[in-house]
Amino acid sequence: MADRSTRSPVRNPRTPAQELLDELGPVTQFHDTTHLGAFGMPSGAMTEDMLSSVATAGTPTRFGPLEKVHAFWFAGMSCDGCSVAVTGATLPSVESLLLGAHPGLPRVVLHHPVINMESGPYYLQPAEQAMAGRLDAPYVVILEGSIADEVVANASGGYWSSTGEEPWGPDGDLRPVTSTEWVARLAPNAAAMIAIGTCATWGGVPSAEGNPTGAMSLMDFLGKDYRSVLGVPVVNVPGCPPIGDNFTETVAAVLYFLQGFGPLPEFDELGRPAWLFGETVHRHCVRGAYYEEGQFAKDFGDPECLVEIGCWGPVVNCNIASRGAIMSVGGCMNAGGACIGCTMPGFPDKFTPFYKRPPGSMASTVVSRMVGSVIRPLRKFSNNNMNREVRWDRQHATPSAFSREKSEPSALAHVNHKFYDALRRSGDTSRNDADVWGKRQDEAPSGGSPRTRA
Ligand code: SF4
Ligand code: SF4
């Protein structure tokens, strides 16, 4: 058996997709559904037919040329976590996309192996029509899970992951059709190819060291020269699982492009939505200030920065700290978890063993500790002062029963705060004395003379 995991795209100019299609040859025959009758569950209840009557994308709300777009969802070497994540999306939700509830967006007709009502040949029919060029609208292909190298499996007469059967065997016999094959056959005429989750975008866990299935990403499979019929390279929305909203928002953005409403949204050099993956997760982390002040968690459950117990956030492109996991809530550090780099092309091999301090963090945490040892006391000093009313400073008393055990600021602290106030107000042209209304003699504004109107 050839070792597919080490195949070099430089030495081999043919893409794995081309190799697979060369080996399998063209197909022309499809299921004949005329004799199937009541096959399927429930028979004849096509998901698209059921939804189209309640879908709102029609002429009144549709501004572009497309009334609908088909989305074929395939699962390769997958745990289905991406499907779970996407069904939890709310901004926008899958339901709203299926119902065409967004003004200007075409309605999405989703063909998903778990969600759809159809089964068997009825489920496969739209994909067959897409291959034959008979589909009634453009289509995009969405891949969850990595691409297994089916050329390897084929050599031993097996397969890694399949989606249904087609009469593509010898003499028109039914044979399992792998997800890899579907993707290879549908890619040339797709309006866009979208990889969801780290397995599909970069290979992910199935392509980790060892990799018996030769698992690879959609980009590796189709090659760097791949372009959809609209000239779009593979779009990548990574994460393990990805944030559902990241995916549905990207799909909506691509659909607006397909509808002719604007240019293709900005993607980075790896096909990631640039507005979602342009920053490290560390920059928006709720624990970032602990890092800055040199305070680090020793155990999970501690509130401080998690870098010393294995957080890779400073070098990982991810937006979960600001976006949250579901409905803007949760997300790794928000919920107490260290970043293990699950959105990154180097995941998992370059981040293992998990929950071990990244060696590169040593230098920055030493510096943070040194800076923090100076900054923290100064901030505490100012924080104490800002927690006092101006009146309490004047009266040297705080009328709170809760704080009675807390002593008033020392004379030295008082002088230091005065000095700080002078610095703060230097150049402030509004500090001149002003008339004081309704105050007692001893309650003039800070910096002003205790005067009252005659
Ligand atoms: S927990 Fe991680 S991402 Fe958050 S501040 Fe610490 S190192 Fe950065
Ligand atoms: S913070 Fe890290 S582990 Fe969490 S989702 Fe983002 S990349 Fe993955």
Amino acid at 128: E
Same domain, 115 and 211: yes
Residue 429 in domain: no
Same domain, 123 and 232: yes
Look at residue 435 and tell me whether its pLDDT is greater than 90: no
Q: Residue 454's pLDDT is what?
A: 39
Q: How confident is the model at residue 350 (pLDDT cuts 50, 70, 90)?
A: very high
Residue 412 in domain: no
In terms of Cα–Cα distance, which of 31, 67, 26 is closest to 188?
Answer: 26
Residue 443 in domain: no
Q: Which residues of 16-49 are buried (b: 16+ CB within 10 A; e: fewer)?
A: bbebbbeebeebeebbeeeeeeeebeeeeebbbe
> 34 and 104 in contact (C-beta within 8 Å)?
no
Report the domain count for the chain: 2
- 110 Cβ below 6 A of ligand 1: no
Domain boundary among 378, 412, 441: 378
> 72 and 111 in contact (C-beta within 8 Å)?
yes
Locate 81 and state its tokens: 């976590």
User: Which whole number is the average pLDDT over 378-407?
Assistant: 86
Residue 444 in domain: no
Residue 1 in domain: no
User: 49 alpha carbon to ligand 2 midpoint, in Å?
Assistant: 39
Q: What is the DSSP string of 307-355?
A: GGGT--GGG-B--HHHH-SBTTB--TGGGTPPP--TTSTTTTGGGPSTT
Domain boundary among 248, 277, 306: 277
The CA angle 316-75-2, to the nearest 5 degrees, is: 85
User: Which whole number is the average pLDDT over 371-382?
Assistant: 96
In terms of Cα–Cα distance, which of 203, 219, 209 is closest to 145?
Answer: 203
For 261-274, what is each residue's pLDDT tens digit? Answer: 878 899 999 999 99
Residue 152 in domain: yes
Domain boundary among 219, 242, 277: 277
Same domain, 258 and 297: no
Q: Residue 119's pLDDT is what?
A: 84
Domain hosting residue 331, numbered range? 279-378
Residue 360 in domain: yes
Look up the CATH number of the domain holding residue 283: 4.10.480.10
Which of 309-323, 370-384, 412-426, 436-450 is predicted with the least confidence, judged by mean pLDDT? Answer: 436-450
Q: Residue 46's pLDDT is what?
A: 72
Amino acid at 180: T
Q: End-to-end alpha-carbon separation of the chain, Å?
A: 102
User: 333 alpha carbon to ligand 1 midpoint, in Å?
Assistant: 7
- 320 Cβ below 6 A of ligand 1: no
Same domain, 208 and 253: yes
Q: Whose CA is nearest to atom 6 of ligand 1?
A: 305
- 311 Cβ below 6 A of ligand 2: no
Same domain, 199 and 301: no
Same domain, 272 and 322: no
Same domain, 90 and 145: yes
Q: Whose CA is nearest to atom 6 of ligand 2?
A: 318
Distance between CA 75 and CA 83 in Å, rounded? 9
For 14-23, what is each residue's pLDDT tens digit? Answer: 999 999 999 9
What is the chain's Cα-based Rg?
30
Token pair 């009502």 in the structure block, residue: 117
Same domain, 263 and 319: no
Look up the CATH number of the domain holding residue 255: 3.40.50.700
Locate 9 and state its tokens: 């795209």
Same domain, 199 and 312: no
- 312 Cβ below 6 A of ligand 1: no
Same domain, 336 and 233: no
Look at residue 355 and tell me whether its pLDDT is greater than 60: yes
Q: What is the DSSP string of 44-88?
A: T--HHHHHHTT---STTT--SS-SEEEEEEEESB--SHHHHHHHT
Q: Residue 63's pLDDT is what?
A: 67
Residue 420 in domain: no
Same domain, 155 and 295: no
Ligand 1 atom having least distance to the Cα of 316? 3
